[in-house]
Amino acid sequence: MVLVVSGDETGLLKTFDLSCSITTSNSSLGVAGSTKQTVKRPPTTSHLPEDLTQSRGNGVTCLNWLNEDKTTIAVGRKGPSVEVWNTTSPTGPNPNSIKYTKRIDLFTTTTTGVPSPTSTEMYEDILSTNQLTSTTLTATTCYGNVYKIDLDTNTYEKLTTDKPLVPKPPTSTRSKSFSGRTPVTSTFYLTPTKLLLGGRDREVQIFDLESMKSTWKGKNLPPDPQTLLQCPLWQTCLGGWGEKGVCVGTAYKELRLYDTRQRRPTSVVGGNSGEVIESMVTACTWASENRVVVGTSEGYMHDVDVRMLKVRRRLVGPNGCVKDVKAKGDWVGGIGLDRVWNCWDGKGRRRGEVYVRQRGVGFLWGDGEIEVEEEEEEGEEEGVWEGEGKKSASNLDVNAEDEVGEIVFSSDEEEGDSDNDDLGINNQSDSDNDEGFGSDEEFFNPGMQTKTKKGGDKKKKGGGGGGGGGGNRKKQRR
């Protein structure tokens, strides 16, 4: 069993068993051994704390595992707040249950416990969380603030006491359309103490949460050689491979790859590189050391080869903006605004889809191995071709040699004599017109070595029999 947990914009958490949604069945499609995919939709279970109501004001903003065993989940919500959920053993009629444990509300007063209406920090959205120790975790907001949360005492501490990691925009209302944009648009934890951070008109950086200082900062691409204008910056999603590999998706249809041992991007896919990425990159992840999967705002998902810097294939399925992409071995899953969770295998074939009913924000892969069940349809044999006179693939002997009958070519002289006798055409005139070339059959089929060289025989006749026309043509050509 592989548990998958997804979160949506209305605050619900959905759980389902992936093994119920992956099924393939053999079908006769005119090709021996072909298979037709049959996707089952497993039942989903919705979860919401009893003291919350389903609304966009309580929407989920991020999902993260807090331990390597994948038994504790940290859920970031608008408000903002951080919840802790635990996975339970599959008992009873609901094998995909998760249990709500606690919630820590940020930016609350010490007396009433209600968020202050005059505080602008109460509108910060939590972008990511990560476990710092066994009893503490960190949460990063869109304003560049980092909070340390103690799960034992249900208290939090602001680590960025002096100033946020990046300059804070001017104070404004709840509206997100003000000129002072949120400085941070995406974050990613490379390690529990190393935070990767990016935003609009800002370079991607790595911060050390112990010293609260920037340890690495990227550098933009060189200016355009023709216009001498700087390349615009707007990081929309981040991903990491170890501590050295960084992939950055931008709003300008680019995928930038960094090596933290240098500052400039090592390579760029999309933009002006020749590879087509149709729209803004909204999600990206490392599927392997040489493979990055990206999702766009128009619902396109691309499998990018890092070595060749080319789009290997498109992953077909999503019909709306892709909000989150994650990999589990060779398998890749994605969820977005089309309300459908999709997964693909290592060959780019879609092997499952789950309708989650609300617009998805993120999801998590559970622990366990993905198993694909092969089923055969009733009344059909595996690898049978359609149509009369077709042989099944099991009865074909691939080592047997094909019996080919003897191919007999009629001689050119017999063909030429019979044609000329019927049409009354002189062979001498044909030799003059065909001089320097073989017969028509030799010209279009030079590989037929069994034919006699008709043009060469006629050339000898024309030259020896007083063929003055042929000699005059040679003189004129010279």
Cα 235 to chain center, whole Å?
18
CB contact set of 237 (below 8 Å; sequence gap of 6+):
186, 248, 249, 281, 282, 283, 284
Residues 240 and 208: their CA atoms lie apart, in Å, by 15
Helix (H) or strand (E) holding 131: strand 126-131
User: Can you give 190-226 as a three-state secondary structure string?
Assistant: EECCEEEEEEECEEEEEEECCCCEEEEECCCCCCCCC
Give the pLDDT score at 96. Answer: 64
Give the pLDDT score at 418. Answer: 47
Residues 166 and 465: their CA atoms lie apart, in Å, by 99
Among residues 81, 87, 78, the alpha carbon closest in space to that of 103 is found at: 81
Give the pLDDT score at 477. Answer: 54
**Ranges under pLDDT 70 in the chain:** 20-41, 89-96, 108-123, 161-164, 166-182, 273-274, 372-478
Cα 161 to chain center, whole Å?
39
Give the pLDDT score at 254. Answer: 92
Give the pLDDT score at 118. Answer: 43
Q: Taking the complete model, does pTM exceed 0.85, yes or no?
A: no
Query: Does residue 431 sit in helix, strand or coil?
Result: helix
Q: Where are the domains of the chain?
A: 428-477
**Are 75 and 60 in contact, with CB atoms under 8 Å apart?**
yes
Give the pLDDT score at 142. Answer: 86
Compute φ and ψ for 417, nearest 5 degrees.
Answer: -65, -40
**Are 469 and 463 in contact, with CB atoms under 8 Å apart?**
no
Give the pLDDT score at 7. Answer: 95
Among residues 440, 429, 414, the alpha carbon closest in space to that of 462 is found at: 429
